[in-house]
Amino acid sequence: MRIDPSIVALRSDGAPQRHAQTRLGKIKAGWLAEPQAAAVLRAFESYGSGAPLAQCPPLAALVSEIGVARGFIDALAGAMVGALRESSLGHVPFRHRYADGLAMLQLARSGRATLSLMQYAPPEGGSLPESVCFTDGERHEICLAGEARARRVTVSGECRGKARLMCTDIRLAPGSSLSFAGRGQTKLVDRVEGRLVLLRLSRQAVEPLPSIEYRLSDGALLHRAAGECRESRQELMLAVLGAMRRHDAAPAIARLSRAGSTSLRWQALRECLALDSATGFRELSRVARNAADPLHEPARALRCDLLAQHPQLAGAENEPCLV
């Protein structure tokens, strides 16, 4: 394995790394304290807690006026780049990632909102997108640098189980701003010339619907994913508790099956039935009895199946509910 000499040097002396981090941290703190950044971030907090963008003027200007956006980013990027030139192994003190042509820096997060700086470069594979994904929330973007050919994709209806996708060509250039609301619209970047840099403000819906991915060529549904991270985290926790046979968690899992997305609720019902069939069956019956519950039909069918296989479960419904 080849280890770069500068990394080897760090192993014997960690001081330069700590020095670089301290310096980058100070740059970030100085930037946050500047009047423009501070005003934007105060507005960002209001937006993250649900205020309409129009009621957050510094933030609205940030994603619609290129002069404002550039002033905001240049104050940070100039100082950061200068420090990184001198200490190239410093970590930029923001969450960041890079994958196949797309780099992003998460500048701020508050409530349901995030503010990110994104850079698109032509992907190494160079292939055109085959699918498009719609997520539930609103996004406001402004192009800071570079140019690209893109498409605004809208779901205009459904036909025989397939989505009708409508594409409108758009050209992105410095100053272009785009807004998307809800799960019916998104954009695809088809071709980037050089580098495309966007500032993106996004806010998740209060109760986000699952994200949906369609095949571009015919609108066929390819994939559905949970709309929020918390839900998947809870699902993973359920799986761990189930695998550990934690019977003592059954009452809490039963409570989890009463609110939230149908996907998570159903998973909670399954885990509860597997951990403690009596508690799980009582919850299942509760859902099956409620015709207004979106899980009414599958719960009713499963209840019938389970009663046929295990008639003694009928007794669980008469037992006192301790949940």
Partner 1 sequence: MNFPKIDLSSLPVLEKAAGMFGSLSDAATATSDDRVVIIMVYLYETVPEPLLGLF
Nearest to 141 by CA among 168, 166, 104, 89: 104
Among 18, 19, 26, 91, binds partner 1 (CB under 8 A): 91
Q: Please identify which residue in 22, 78, 315, 323 interacts with partner 1, judged by CB under 8 A.
A: 315
> Between 60 and 105, whose beta carbon lies closer to partner 1?
105
Least spacing, CB of residue 57 vs partner 1, in Å: 25
Cβ closest to partner 1, residue 57 vs residue 129: 129
In the range 162-181, which residues lie near partner 1 by CB under 8 A?
A: 180
Choosing from 7, 19, 312, 321, the residue that interacts with partner 1 (CB under 8 A) is 312
Contacts (CB under 8 A) with partner 1, residues 254-273: 255-256, 261-263, 266-267, 270-271, 273
**What tokens does 56 get?**
């957050």
From residue 11, how far is each of 5, 7, 99, 121 by CA, in Å? 10, 7, 27, 33
Count of residues of this chain found to bind partner 1 when the rule CB under 8 A is applied: 84
The residue from 63, 73, 104, 113 that contacts partner 1 (CB under 8 A) is 104
Of 36, 154, 179, 232, the residue at the interface with partner 1 (CB under 8 A) is: 232
Return the residue of 36, 211, 258, 286 that touches partner 1, per CB under 8 A.
Answer: 211
* Residue placing its CB nearer to partner 1 in the complex, 58 or 210: 210
Residue 80 found at the interface with partner 1 (CB under 8 A): no
Give just the sign of the alpha carbon dihedral 219, 223, 229, 232. Answer: positive
Alpha-carbon span 164 to 154, nearest angstrom: 8
Restricted to residues 118-137, the positions that interact with partner 1 (CB under 8 A) are 118, 120, 123, 127-135, 137
Exactly one of 205, 298, 307, 317 binds partner 1 (CB under 8 A); that residue is 298
Smallest gap, in angstroms, from Cβ of residue 314 to partner 1? Answer: 10
CB-nearer residue toward partner 1: 81 or 274: 274
In the region spanning residues 186 to 205, those forming contacts with partner 1, defined by CB under 8 A, are 186-190, 202
Identity of the residue, 55 or 91, whose beta carbon is nearer to partner 1 in the bound complex: 91
Q: Which is nearer to partner 1, 104 or 165 (CB)?
A: 104
Question: In whole angstroms, how close is the CB of 227 to partner 1 at the nearest point?
Answer: 7
Chain mean position to CA 131: 18
Q: Which is nearer to partner 1, 1 or 99 (CB)?
A: 99
CB 36 within 8 A of CB 97: no
Q: What is the Cα–Cα distance from 314 to 99, expressed in whole angstroms?
A: 54
CA dist., res. 73 & res. 70, Å (int): 5
Going from the C-alpha of 15 to that of each of 9, 89, 92, 94, 282, the distances in angstroms are 10, 12, 17, 21, 61
Q: What is the token pair recorded at 100?
A: 């196949």
According to the binding rule CB under 8 A, does residue 4 interact with partner 1? no
CA 102 from centroid of its chain's CA atoms: 16
Cα angle 272, 136, 193; round to 5: 130
Host H or E run for residue 177: strand 177-181
Which residue, 71 or 101, has its beta carbon nearer to partner 1?
A: 101
Under the criterion CB under 8 A, does residue 230 sit at the interface with partner 1?
Answer: yes
From the list 297, 279, 276, the residue with the least C-alpha distance to 288 is 297
How many helices and strands in the chain, by DSSP H and E? 10, 10
